[in-house]
Amino acid sequence: MNMTHYMELLATNQPWNLLIFMAIPIVLAETLAITELYLLSTRNYTGWVHGLNRMVGITVGLYFIGVIIYLLKTAVWPITQAGEWRTIIDVVAVGSYLIGGLPLIYIAFQELGWVNTLATDETKRHAHAICVALFLIFGHIAMIAGMLDPALLGYVPEGMSEVHQH
C-alpha cells in the first residue's frame, strides 16, 4: 500500500519521528483537552488542574511552533518544489496537521499574555475552548486523511505502472 507523506514521516526513523510528531504533541494536546473539560465543568479556575492546563497550553503551543517550522522547511517546501504531493489526500493530511497546531499556538500566546490581553477571563476561556476544539477537528482530519492510500485518487509511485499496482 502507498503512504501519504504524513504516514511516511511517522513510519520513518522509528521510534523517534512517531514520538516527536505524534506522541508528544498528542499527549500534551489531549491533556489540554481533558483539563479544559474539567475546568469548564467545575468552574474551578484556581486549583492545580488550572495550573496544569495553563502549563500544558504554553508547552504544546511553543512545541508546535518548532514542529511547524521544521516541517515547512524539511517537508512541505521541498515536496511542493519537486511536485511530489501524492494527490489531494496527501495535501489534506499534512496541511491539516500543520493547521491543527495554529490554535494551540494561539492558546500559548494567550496564556503568555501576548494576545487577547484586554479580554475578560470568560472571553479568554471561550477562546481557549474553541482553540482546543479546532485542534481536535484538524488533528483528526489529518489522522484520517493520513491513513488513506493516495492511490484511491490515482497516485502511482514513480517507476510503477498502473498495470503492476494492485
Q: 74, 124 in Cβ contact below 8 A?
A: no
The C-alpha atoms of residue 66 and residue 64 are separated, in whole angstroms, by 5
Residue partners of 50: CB distance under 8 A and separation at least 6: 35, 39, 44
Please tell me the predicted confidence (pLDDT) of residue 164: 52
Q: Give the orientation angle of helix 24-42 with respect to helix 121-147, to 10 degrees.
A: 140
pLDDT at 162: 52
Provide the greatest CA pair distance for the chain: 64
Pairwise CA distance, residues 85 & 81, whole Å: 10
Q: What is the pLDDT of residue 160?
A: 67
Where are the domains positioned within the chain? 5-149
Residue 157 pLDDT: 86
Q: Rounded to whole angstroms, how far apart are CA atoms 46 and 40?
A: 12
**pLDDT tens-digit profile, the chain (166 residues):** 789 999 999 999 999 999 999 999 999 999 999 999 999 999 999 999 999 999 999 999 999 999 999 999 999 999 999 999 999 999 999 999 999 999 999 999 999 999 999 999 999 999 999 999 999 999 999 999 999 999 999 898 877 655 555 5
DSSP annotation of 153 reads G
Predicted pLDDT of residue 1: 75
Query: Chain centroid to CA 1: how far?
Result: 24
Are 9 and 72 contacting, i.e. CB atoms less than 8 angstroms apart? no
Question: By CB neighbour count within 10 A (0-12 exposed, 13-18 middle, 19+ buried), where does 6 fall?
Answer: buried
Q: What is the rounded CA–CA span in Å between residue 154 and residue 136?
A: 29
